[in-house]
Structure 1
């Protein structure tokens, strides 16, 4: 039972990290495409928020 729970939690954490990685890559792609229209101050603010969430 305990082994099953630990395996489930490991799967959940890997799923979470994969989701975070997908979100991060999407975010980076969006930032690269919107870099011309976004001011550097707001982009650095968003980056600091994301890094604080990690």
Structure 2
């Protein structure tokens, strides 16, 4: 489970799976495939959270 830390809506395609993820201030948390999470967590825009 990742939390998006910004406010602007963003659509991201997972670097490993190609899966489409949509984040925004209204929907900042969602489950992300572990293979994609690694690259997202390497940015300052995401943080891992407990489900």
TM-score by length of 2: 0.27
**Larger radius of gyration between Structure 1 and Structure 2:** 1
- When you count helix as a share of all residues, which structure comes out higher? 1
TM-score by length of 1: 0.26
